[in-house]
A and B are shown apart, each in its own frame.
Chain A
Amino acid sequence: AQTVTQSQPEMSVQEAETVTLSCTYDTSENNYYLFWYKQPPSRQMILVIRQEAYKQQNATENRFSVNFQKAAKSFSLKISDSQLGDTAMYFCAFTKIQGAQKLVFGQGTRLTINP
């Protein structure tokens, strides 16, 4: 079975700072996807970024980037130039590519961006 662990229940930074959210996972699979989803107070679960395990290059989306360490089973999210709108719950998630339709989520990190 796969597990995802987010060790930081809450984080708080000042606007424009850089913040890194941690995620580790455990799996025996070789091919899988990792995701970061954001859930603001409005409740909608929004995809932030996706990483394919077979790609060595770290994924980036504008101010969001990941540090994917496959051997260490680590998948952290870096948010640069943080904005007030980044305030949300962030979930790290894992899914096998084949045959598995289930997203395995971490417990989430509540991120607050202060003005």
Chain B
Amino acid sequence: DTEVTQTPKHLVMGMTNKKSLKCEQHMGHRAMYWYKQKAKKPPELMFVYSYEKLSINESVPSRFSPECPNSSLLNLHLHALQPEDSALYLCASSHVFFRDSFFTDTQYFGPGTRLTVL
């Protein structure tokens, strides 16, 4: 089973709202990722968690706040977003070999959350 689930599928929010995106996987993967994808463009990496610790932040604005409460769950908290943050947000997960050396495996993606900021 290579399923990654994401909720909600669609989200519309105002610039003053606070909302959260949720991602879940039950494949035993210990690396989880957030990507942002604009229309007709490839995904852009935002954050990587390895063993529930943030390992990469691609200089993402602080209005995006990731959280990894356990090995199966990844959240992205949104606050004071701008209209240009409207995009498809994709979550992915992968197996990790050799934790200290961090050998990674194939990333499997969820269906995404379509975010619209008004």
Chain A nearest Cβ from B31, distance in angstroms? 6
Partner of B41 from the list A35, A42, A98, A107 (CB cut-off 8 Å) is A107
B74 within 8 A of A: no
Inter-chain contacts of A42 with B (CB < 8 A): 111
Partner of B42 from the list A44, A91, A97 (CB cut-off 8 Å) is A91
Of all chain A residues, the one with the shortest Cβ separation from B43 is: A105
Given known contacts A101-B31, A107-B41, A107-B42, is B104 in contact with A43 (CB within 8 Å)?
no
Inter-chain contacts of A95 with B (CB < 8 A): 104, 107
Cβ–Cβ contact A102 & B45, under 8 A:
yes
Question: Count of B residues near A, CB < 8 Å?
Answer: 28
CA–CA, A100 and B45, complex, Å: 12
Q: Which stretch in B18-26, B48-56, B63-71, B77-85 binds the other chain?
A: B48-56
Residues 92-115 of A, flagged 1 when their CB comes within 8 A of B and 0 if not, give 000101111111011110000000
SS of B interface (majority): strand
Inter-chain contacts of A43 with B (CB < 8 A): 88, 111-112, 114
Most chain B C-beta atoms within 10 Å of own C-beta, residue among A101, A106, A107: A101
Q: Considering the complex of A and B, which 7 residue pairs feature the smallest CB-CB distances, nearest first?
A: A105-B42, A45-B109, A44-B111, A101-B48, A43-B112, A99-B102, A98-B103
Subset of 25 A-B contacts with CB under 8 Å: A33-B106, A35-B106, A37-B109, A44-B110, A44-B111, A45-B43, A45-B92, A45-B109, A50-B106, A95-B107, A98-B102, A99-B103, A100-B104, A101-B48, A101-B55, A101-B104, A102-B45, A102-B56, A103-B43, A103-B45, A103-B107, A105-B42, A105-B43, A108-B41, A108-B42
Q: Contact residues of A with B, CB < 8 Å?
A: 33, 35, 37, 42-47, 50, 89, 91, 95, 97-103, 105-108
